[in-house]
Structure 1
Amino acid sequence: MEDKKIFRLALFTAIFGLVGMMVSANYIMPQTVQIKDMNRGMLDKEVSVEGLVTSVSQSQKGGTYFLDLMDGTGKTKVVIFESVASEIQKTNITPQNFINRRVKIDGKVTEYQGSLEVVLKDASSLKIVA
């Protein structure tokens, strides 16, 4: 009988904890970092970076965009995959509109050919600051 009560309490606590995590997951903000502080220990983690877009280029196939972002401490690439780029373009903004603009980007740190870059999560994860 005592084991049943303990089991029920443990089950209730686990379910309550999981529901709480799912509800609060949308409100957890990514860690704000400077580009110089990005490292391989942050791979696959969500970060927030703010800086000036110095150039925009497009993949050979044309769907993916690459923004060069500089924050005064360093420079990194921001990758905007085709699906996210089309979301942005639905608002009548093209990635070229971000050149020489200060932006805040939330995305995942990845590595490509030995360099760290940030992959934009979705269209709402890119905000023009100035």
Structure 2
Amino acid sequence: MEITDDKLLKIALITSLIGIIGLIAFTPTIEVKQVDIKDINRGMIDEEVRVDGVISDVAQSKSKTSYFLTINDGEAQIQLIIFESQVAEIQSRNMGIEDFRDHKVEVVGTVTQYNSEMELVLSNGDSLRMVN
């Protein structure tokens, strides 16, 4: 059996379609790992995680474009960084960053380290939600 360019193209197209269908089918089932704040460590840098806690402090950057929120889950706390683009997304939902103060939230963010402290960078504007 001789493999021609035409056969190779068909094989590549079929394989691509199977891969795309697989991605569409399995993407909704992929969940971000839920962790306790005390368990976040350097081995998790660049990993996306979900944490729950209460926003105990809200501070704005000197440039007034970013926010630093302190999330406390009762055992530990961590800084959440919200950049300008995420602030705009949150405000487009008719909410201000200050509205989250003293409320329980669910956050999805990427673990980073700054000045030897672990922090979370908000993934997108929809990744910060108030919970009851």
TM-score bracket, shorter-length normalisation: 0.7 to 0.9
How many Å apart are 1:112 and its aligned residue?
0.9
Deviations 1:36-77 (A, max 9, x none): 100111111110000010000000000100100000121100
Provide the C-alpha distance between the structure 2 equivalents of 1:27 and 1:82, rounded to a whole number of angstroms: 30
TM normalised by structure 2 equals 0.84
- Larger-gyration structure (1/2): 2
Identify if the C-alpha distance between structure 1 residues 86 and 11 changes in structure 2 by more than 3 Å, giving closer, same or farther.
Answer: closer
Q: 1:1-130 counterparts in 2 under 5 A? A: 1=1, 16-17=18-19, 19-21=21-23, 24-130=26-132
Residue correspondences, number: 129
Deviates more, 1:24-33 or 1:64-73: 24-33
Identify if the C-alpha distance between structure 1 residues 91 and 18 changes in structure 2 by more than 3 Å, giving closer, same or farther.
Answer: closer
State the identity %: 39
Provide the C-alpha distance between the structure 2 equivalents of 1:19 and 1:52, rounded to a whole number of angstroms: 39
TM normalised by structure 1 equals 0.85
Provide the C-alpha distance between the structure 1 equivalents of 2:114 and 2:23, rounded to a whole number of angstroms: 31
SS in 1 for 2:107: strand
Structure 1: gaps of 5 or more residues = none
Identify if the C-alpha distance between structure 1 residues 24 and 127 changes in structure 2 by more than 3 Å, giving closer, same or farther.
Answer: same
